[in-house]
Amino acid sequence: MIDLAAFSWRFLKVWKRNLVVYQRIWKVSFLTPLFEPLFYILAFGLGFSGLIGSVHYGGADLSYTAFIVPALIATAVMWNAFFETTYGSFVRMYYQKTFDAMMATPLSLEEIIIAEIVWSASKSVAAAAIMLTVLGLLGFVQLPMGLLLIPLAFVGGLAFGAIGMFFTGIIPTIDMFNLPIFLFVTPMFLFSGTFFPISNLPGWMQPFALAFPLYHLAELARRFSIGTSETGTIISIGYLIVFFLFFTVLSFGAMKKRLIQ
Amino acid sequence: MENIIEIQNLVKTFDGIAAVNEISFFVQRGEFFGLLGPNGAGKTTTIRMLYGFSPRTRGKLRIFGMDISTEYRKIKARIGVCQQDNTLDPDLTVEQNLHVFAEYFAIPKKEAFERSRELLEFFALNHKKDAKVLELSGGMARRLILARSLINKPELLILDEPTTGLDPQARHQVWEKLEELKETGITVVITTHYMEEASRLCDRLVIVDHGKILVDGSPEDLIDRYAGRHIIEIEGPDQALIEYMKKHDFEYDDLDRRLILYEPEGRDLNHTIRERFCNEKCIYRNSTLEDVFLRLTGRGLRE
Ligand SMILES: Nc1ncnc2c1ncn2[C@@H]1O[C@H](COP(=O)(O)OP(=O)(O)OP(=O)(O)O)[C@@H](O)[C@H]1O
Ligand SMILES: [Mg+2]
């Protein structure tokens, strides 16, 4: 099913194409990761923490702000990658016919898909790096250990980029991305131990939270920025990698079915 | 002569319906080969199989003597494709479109830049090199697609309706460029709905309909074979004329308000018709490829 000859470093050419386009708009794109965490910290950290006090997590008592800051990085990683391979890739594939043009060159469809996913992960890395700078300066992230958030953002970005690409392969029209966002991303955003520990969830919901890639990403983000987590580091990294591989393979199938007729 | 393309009994079905149904042809190095046919005839489907975009359902297809399903990288490195849809990258400028495309072919940067400059020059797009693609006129966009398809110095150029939607000036300009390219020995497969374009550019062509090849030959040869040298168009034909033609067994098409008479070789019917049967208006003219096309594919609307 997987044809090894279809994979080569040529995928970097497609990645580079996206970079060329990004260079024109980066000035706008970097504002979000710069200011968004500040808004959240203001709203939740300052506004909310008075109501909450401390959060019991991983055997320690954390201030609410300290608890959510790593999760903010994790969700930014998720949104950046997921939006890129859903809306971004869909526009390129469907409206701009960019993939059609590429397929008249020696590029394989697999390389195009890999490039899109890797590109989405790169955008996650860029966002995480900017956030890390801000949050590190404010003292919310321990350094130098926090630098591990950069490679983590890449792995997390791959996982969310891959599932986004899969949705792009099966979704009939662009408005229908609402559906996976509503059914999958939003619940994940809220219930992955991002804004409160999953131990506060009803018992029957906890296994679902454990299946969310965002849960593992947020866990790892906490491990790397404040040195505490509730799940094994290797397990969480392994989960993200398996998730990425699984949905990448699924998206090869979906995109082939969609584009190659 | 070396065969650049060899197709034998090629079939493509979509949900059991054949869009391309057992077609066979070959194209030799240096030839300009035309693929004509009404809307939905199967031209684009054939072309997509040629450059490896769609897998074939059945049949043999070899390009440069290689199999596209296994050696697609080698083949695609040596062909240029101009798709029917506009597939220019709207996120990039004119020049970036060429540079980025060159990357896909792994052309070294220096060479890519040089080649882009030459191509922009050749297609008179130099003054637009920093423009966004969406700011280009239809004619310029087409020229840019052509330029882009030449970035890898292809031996085989595949053009799916390269001049559709262009004004006559732009179309003539594209023809001139294609003729200049022909001098370089490039092989071209082209589809078009403009018969004048096919007559002017193609050394050989096939007319397809419903996924099958109806005829193949050079434009002149096809005109001779299927439309005679001359045609007389008679407006408002009367019964007497029809009887006269039936009696002499002349070939004609009766379109109700208009009758098209294919003058047989060596007969001068023009005078007879004018004197005896011309009630309203009669035109005596050379036959064209369009006559052949309409005769073979019928005059009914498609799709
Ligand atoms: N992806 C597809 N799925 C189903 N049917 C298809 C598909 N692509 C083409 N067809 C059908 O195959 C037939 C041939 O289409 P094709 O696009 O090859 O025609 P064409 O000769 O290029 O026409 P045109 O001159 O309009 O471009 C048509 O009946 C079309 O509806
Ligand atoms: Mg077509």
Read off the pLDDT band of B103 (50, 70, 90).
Answer: very high
Taking the model in full, what pTM does it have?
A: 0.92
- Inspect the interface and report whether the beta carbons of B89 and A101 lie closer than 8 Å: yes
For residue B274, CA distances in Å to A251, B263, B277, B283, B284 come to 70, 13, 6, 9, 10
pLDDT score of B220? 94
B75, B86, B99, B103: best to mutate for the A interface, most A CBs within 10 A? B103
What fold does the segment set B3-223 form as a domain?
Answer: Rossmann fold (3.40.50)
Residues of chain B with CATH 3.40.50.300: 3-223
- The per-residue pLDDT of chain B, averaged, comes to 92
- On chain A, the residues whose CB falls within 8 A of the CB of B107 are none
Q: How far apart are CA B100 and CA A13, in angstroms?
A: 8
CA distance to A12, A170, B270, per residue, from A86 (Å):
20, 11, 67
Share of chain B above pLDDT 90, in %: 72
For residue A41, pLDDT over 90 is answered with no
The reply to whether residue A101 touches residue B88, judged by beta carbons under 8 angstroms, is: yes
Q: Taking 80 as the threshold, does the pLDDT of residue B94 lie above it?
A: yes
pLDDT in tens, A85-118: 999 999 999 999 999 999 999 999 999 999 999 9
Ligand 1 center from residue A226 Cα (angstroms): 59
Enter the ipTM.
0.89
Cβ atoms A135, A70 nearer than 8 A: no
pLDDT confidence bin for A184, thresholds 50/70/90: very high
Find the mean pLDDT for residues B248-253.
84
Of B54, B89, B152, the CB nearest to A261: B54
Is the CB of A102 less than 8 angstroms away from the CB of B54?
A: no
Structure-derived torsion over alpha carbons of residues A72, A12, B91, A101, reported in degrees to the nearest 10: -130
CATH, domain range B228-287: 3.30.70
Which residue, judged by its Cα, is nearest atom 22 of ligand 1? B44
Distance in Å, alpha carbon of A6 to nearest chain B alpha carbon: 9
> Where does B5-108 have alpha helices with state H?
43-50, 72-77, 94-104
Domain with CATH 3.30.70 in chain B: 228-287
Nearest CA in chain A to B14: A261
Name the percent of chain A lying above pLDDT 70.
100
CB A160, CB A213: distance < 8 Å: yes
- pLDDT of the residue at B48: 95
H or E segment to which residue A255 belongs? helix A233-259
Predicted confidence (pLDDT) per residue in A191-240, tens digit: 999 989 998 888 898 888 999 999 999 999 999 999 888 889 999 999 99
Residue A1 has pLDDT above 70, yes or no: no
- What gap in Å lies between CA A109 and CA A107, rounded to an integer? 7
Number of helices (H), then strands (E), in chain A = 13, 2
Token pair of A207, please? 């296994």
Average pLDDT estimate for B258-269:
82
**Chain B residues in contact with chain A using a Cβ-Cβ cutoff of 8 Å:** 14, 51-55, 72-73, 76-77, 79, 81, 83, 85-92, 96, 100-101, 103-106, 149, 152
* Contacting A residues, span 90-109, partner chain B, CB-CB under 8 Å: 96-98, 100-108
| Ligand 1 interacting residues, C-beta cut-off 6 A | A 261; B 14, 19, 37, 39-45, 84
> In the predicted model, is pLDDT for residue B241 greater than 90?
no
Q: Which pLDDT score is estimated for B303?
A: 59
| A121 alpha carbon – ligand 2 mean position (Å) | 37
Contact between residue B235 and residue B64 where contact means Cβ atoms under 8 Å apart? no
Residues B180-199 have pLDDT tens digits of 999 999 999 999 999 999 99
What digits encode the pLDDT tens for the residues B14-25? Answer: 999 999 999 999
Q: Are strands B212-217 and B187-191 parallel, antiparallel or unpaired?
A: unpaired
Q: What is the mean pLDDT of residues A27-56?
A: 79
Cα B7 from Cα B14, distance rounded (Å): 19
